[in-house]
């Protein structure tokens, strides 16, 4: 039996909540109706079906569209544990990257803005097609962020950011 068939047989999916539940009583105390999956350190929900691990948002896509997604899925609200189908979209790598939160090591408080120690100024940069584009140095982090926002608008108008 394929992973797709095992997921459809063993799990139920609520599109409104994004929560998966088991359809059967199984090993390790699993009962029909129990919530399936666990939250990983990176924030995603992981399911274990038939001895194979699979990320929950891909299974949500399967339940609604009948196939696993071919490419990347993006959590629109940036909450990796929110697997409601209304929160998932098929996305390019670039769309997914642009929808990320600012890095947890970011000290500026602004996405795309970092402190450049050598020059003692704020640096703005954006990543497009997996390449970092330098946007300049600024005395004020808000000015650097403005440059990031302008670049984001510019690059989103390109075809790499069009909805699938």
pLDDT of residue 164: 36
User: How many Å apart are CA 87 and CA 2, to the nearest integer?
Assistant: 27
CA distances to 76, 105, 160 from 130, in Å: 20, 20, 12
Please choose, from the candidates 2, 160, 164, 163, the residue with its C-alpha nearest in 3D space to the C-alpha of residue 67: 2
Q: In the chain, what percentage of residues exceed pLDDT 70? A: 87
User: How many Å apart are CA 144 and CA 125, to the nearest integer?
Assistant: 9
Contact at 8 Å (CB) between 89 and 83? Answer: no
- Selected residue with higher pLDDT from 150 and 25: 150
Q: Find the helix packing angle between 56-65 and 3-10, rounded to 10°.
A: 80
Q: For the chain, which domains are there?
A: 3-91 (3.90.75.20), 101-161 (1.20.5)
User: How many Å apart are CA 16 and CA 86, to the nearest integer?
Assistant: 8
Residue 21 three-state SS: strand
Residue 158 three-state SS: coil
Q: Tell me: the pLDDT tens digits for 91-149?
A: 776 666 666 666 666 778 888 898 999 999 999 998 887 788 999 999 999 999 999 98
pLDDT higher than 60, residue 159: no
């Amino acid at each position: 039996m394929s992973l797709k068939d095992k997921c459809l047989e063993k799990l139920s999916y609520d599109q409104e909540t994004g929560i998966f539940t088991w359809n059967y009583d199984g090993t390790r105390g699993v009962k029909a109706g129990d919530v399936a999956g666990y939250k990983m350190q990176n924030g995603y929900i992981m399911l274990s079906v038939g001895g194979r691990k699979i990320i929950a948002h891909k299974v949500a896509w399967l339940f609604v569209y009948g196939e696993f997604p071919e490419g990347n899925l993006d959590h629109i609200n940036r909450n990796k544990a929110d697997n409601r189908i209304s929160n998932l979209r098929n996305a390019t790598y670039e769309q997914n990257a642009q929808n990320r939160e600012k890095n947890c090591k970011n000290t500026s408080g602004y996405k795309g803005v970092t402190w450049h120690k050598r020059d003692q100024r704020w640096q703005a940069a954006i990543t497009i097609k997996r390449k970092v584009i330098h946007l300049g140095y600024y005395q004020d982090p808000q000015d650097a962020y403005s440059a990031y926002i302008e670049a984001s608008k510019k690059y989103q108008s390109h075809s790499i950011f069009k909805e699938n």
